[in-house]
Amino acid sequence: MIRFDSSHLHQPLTSASKSLRLVIAASWIFVGAACDRLPGKPPPNPAPVISVATTAGFEAMWAERCTGCHGADGQMGAGLPMRNAEYLKAVPDGEMFSIIRDGVPSSRMPGFGGNAIGGVSDEIIRDFIKGMHTTWASSEGSNVSRGISWRPSDATGDIARGASIFAAKCAACHPAEQKVPVLEGAMPDQLIAGSVTDPFYLRLVSDQHLRSNIVFGRTDLGMPGAAGPFRGPDGGEVTGGLDAADVADLVAYLASKRNTWPSGPEVEDGAP
Q: Which residues bind another protein (CB under 8 A)?
A: 35-36, 38-42, 44-45, 63-69, 71-72, 76-79, 108, 110, 117-118, 174, 176-179, 181-182, 191, 193-201, 203-205, 221, 257, 260-261, 263-267, 270-272
Q: Which is nearer to another protein, 103 or 232 (CB)?
A: 103
Give the phi and the psi of residue 205 in degrees, each rounded to 5. -125, 150
To 5 degrees, how large is the angle CA 221–CA 226–CA 228? 70
* Sequence-distant (≥ 6) Cβ neighbours of residue 126 within 8 angstroms: 93, 97
C-alpha span between 192 and 185 (Å, rounded): 13
Smaller CB separation from another protein, 154 or 184: 184
Cβ atoms of residues 16 and 24 within 8 Å: no
Looking at the Cβ atoms of 160 and 204, the one nearer to another protein is 204
Nearest approach in angstroms of CB 211 to another protein is 14
Q: CB-wise, 104 or 168, nearer to another protein? A: 104
In one-letter notation, the amino acid at residue 54 is: T
Cβ-based nearer residue to another protein, 9 or 78: 78
Minimum distance from CB of 133 to another protein (Å)?
21
User: Least distance to another protein from the beta carbon of 261, Å?
Assistant: 5
Report yes or no: 192 and 170 within 8 Å, Cβ to Cβ: no
CB neighbour list of residue 95: distance below 8 Å, 6 or more residues apart = 150, 151
CB distance 191 to 173 below 8 Å: yes
Contacts of 15 (CB under 8 A, 6+ apart): 8, 9
- Rounded to the nearest whole angstrom, what is the least distance from the CB of residue 231 to another protein in the complex? 16
Cβ 18 to another protein, closest distance in Å?
25
